[in-house]
Chain A
Amino acid sequence: MPFDVTELVIAIVKALVVFVALLSIVPVLIWMERKVIADIQIRIGPNRAGPFGLLQPLADAIKLIFKENIITQGADKVVYFFAPAVSMVPAIITFAVVPFGDTAHILGRKVLLQVADVNIGILYILALSSLGVYGIVLAGWSSNNKYSLLGGVRSSAQMISYELPLGLALVGPVLLSGSLSLREMINAQGRAGVWFIVPQFLAFAVYLISGFAETNRAPFDLPEAEQELTAGYHTEYSSFRFALFYMAEYVNMVTVGAVATTIFLGGWRGPFGNIVILQPVWFLVKLFAILYFFIWVRGTLPRLRYDKLMKLGWKVLLPLALLNLMVTATVKALAPQSAIPIMSVLSLVLVAIGVIALTIISARSTRTPASGLREPSAEGAFYTWES
């Protein structure tokens, strides 16, 4: 294979830029989350370090580096040491296939604004996002702490359960665009003249809900539910090892948001879309809109109970994603030319079906609580040990 030195340099520079950008989005996002949550709860939030408290996440990171690394008694030292890295690395490299702009002409060369334009983009994302579970499970198991183990086991079951609706939801947009490459999907949305959120709204909703669960975000943050598990899988982690888990969670959030932006919201497309400089700006605007939604949901919804969480994933989201896929495929087979306009109308019907299904399932679960989790009644189990 002939190897071009300039290509090599371009590849390294692009990887470096994306790497640095990702790591600098994280503190901004942490700051934004704390500020928005503070606003929702009518507090002020961080405001001491730097203007508007902007430097607070940085101060926290520096503080954490200088803290002691506590190794639990009886911990599996090797696994315990490497688990944060196992959690962090897939989170960063998933972003490689997400395009943040079209082609730029730099020094007479065409440069794709994307780390790597691989033709299996979506499969790459699915493969790497399921690797993230290893970091959490290994951390939970190696800590030699019961809370950590429970958190790790919970999160493995949760993450693989929501992997299914997430994977199924993305087949719909793939059908409409006919490609797995994220760049090609953005082009398809350009040709259609409409973002895929319109014809695939149900898929978008299913993807986003599964995304909350995949990133262990509220209302699905059971792996680290404070009231039940202290801090879940990272209970025994201190210092920068804890910071790595914390950062991995936010990088994962950025990746889920970026994939949603690319597949459903037209990626870098926007008004004046042919000005290359503006494309990353549009991408960031959409990305931060989705991230704001993530934070908003965290500030609004209480945590789900574990049985309800599994029920939502397996009994609501999975069938809905399958339904959306079958309807899309049928429309595409019967009317290949006008599939997107027809789906745009049908997606409203699909969303209505989704809301009805959700209502029925949650109504059934409130009428017949599972026997083991019934609330202790005044004369029931609560007092029996006394009499």
Chain B
Amino acid sequence: MLSAYFPILVLIVLATGFALGALTLSHVLGPKRPNPAKSEPYECGMRPIGSARQRIPVRFYLIAMLFILFDIEIVFLYPWAIVFDHLGLFGLVEMIVFIAILVVGYVYVWRKGALEWE
């Protein structure tokens, strides 16, 4: 069964080789004439003010956490969809309960305003 994945490995090697090869090639072929003005981070021609590695609004972390929660639930839906034919009505009721719990969480998140962007 694992041999089915072998061509993917070949493709990974090809893709990685291409990407790294192209990066190296342009590194070798391109001119190298750095000067202080050129290597300054672009900020519309101004001298950069402060560091670029600033703190990120907490909202983005919230979205990331919500994504993890919902994505795991979605992954659970795939095996269920595969064996749905064998489960019949039992599978349907079971999954309605599962999704109802998910929807309760979803409504809570919505009502709490976690999905609002100012």
Spell out A's residues near B (CB within 8 Å): 1, 3, 7-8, 11-12, 14-16, 18-19, 23, 64-74, 81, 84-85, 88-89, 92-93, 95-97, 115-119, 122-123, 141, 143-149, 153, 156-157, 160-161, 163-164, 167-168, 171, 174-175, 178-180, 230, 235-236, 239-241, 243-244, 306-307, 310-311, 314-315, 318-319, 322, 325-326, 329-330, 332-334, 336, 370-373
Contact = CB atoms under 8 A, between A and B. Distances in A.
18 contacts: A15-B11, A70-B34, A73-B39, A84-B19, A88-B19, A93-B11, A118-B8, A144-B53, A145-B43, A149-B54, A174-B82, A178-B84, A239-B26, A329-B92, A330-B92, A333-B84, A333-B92, A336-B88
Given A178-B85, A241-B26, A157 B60 contact: yes
Contacts of A118: 4-5, 8
B23 A241 contact: yes
A336 B85 contact: yes
Given A149-B54, A156-B64, 8 more contacts: A15-B10, A65-B26, A71-B34, A84-B23, A122-B78, A156-B60, A318-B106, A322-B99
A95 B39 CA distance: 37
B58 to A, nearest CB: 12
Contacts of B16: 85, 89
A116 B5 CA distance: 6
Interface in B13-68: 14-16, 18-20, 22-23, 25-27, 29-34, 36, 38-44, 48, 51-54, 56, 60, 63-64, 67
B63 A70 contact: no
Contact of B18 (A18, A23, A74, A332): A23
Nearest to A2: B3
Nearest to A240: B26
B111 to A, nearest CB: 12
B117 to A, nearest CB: 4
B53 A141 contact: yes
A179 B86 CA distance: 13
A161 B67 contact: yes
Top 10 closest pairs, chain A to chain B, by CB: A240-B26, A307-B117, A85-B19, A372-B118, A92-B15, A15-B10, A333-B92, A160-B67, A11-B7, A145-B41
Given A96-B8, A146-B43, A160-B67, A326 B99 contact: yes
A147 B85 CA distance: 50
Given A69-B30, A161-B63, A178-B85, A115 B7 contact: yes
A329 B2 CA distance: 32
Contacts of B84: 175, 178, 329, 332-333
Contacts of B110: 315
A356 B94 CA distance: 30
B30 A370 contact: no
Given A15-B14, A85-B16, A240-B22, A116 B7 contact: yes
Contact of A310 (B6, B70, B115): B115
A273 to B, nearest CB: 24
A370 B116 contact: yes
Contacts of A64: 26
B52 A146 contact: yes
Contacts of A84: 19, 23
Contacts of B82: 174, 178-180
A11 B115 contact: no
B105 interface: no
B14 to A, nearest CB: 5
B30 A116 contact: no
A73 B41 contact: yes
Given A115-B7, A164-B67, A239-B30, A144 B42 contact: no
B104 interface: no
B30 A65 contact: yes
A310 B89 CA distance: 35
Nearest to A11: B7
Contacts of B117: 306-307, 310-311, 370
B99 A168 contact: no
Contacts of B11: 15, 18-19, 92-93, 95-96, 115
A325 B5 CA distance: 30
A81 B67 contact: no
Max chain A C-beta neighbours (<10 A), residue from B19, B82, B103: B19
A178 B81 CA distance: 7
Contacts of B106: 318-319
A115 B103 CA distance: 39
B31 A68 contact: yes
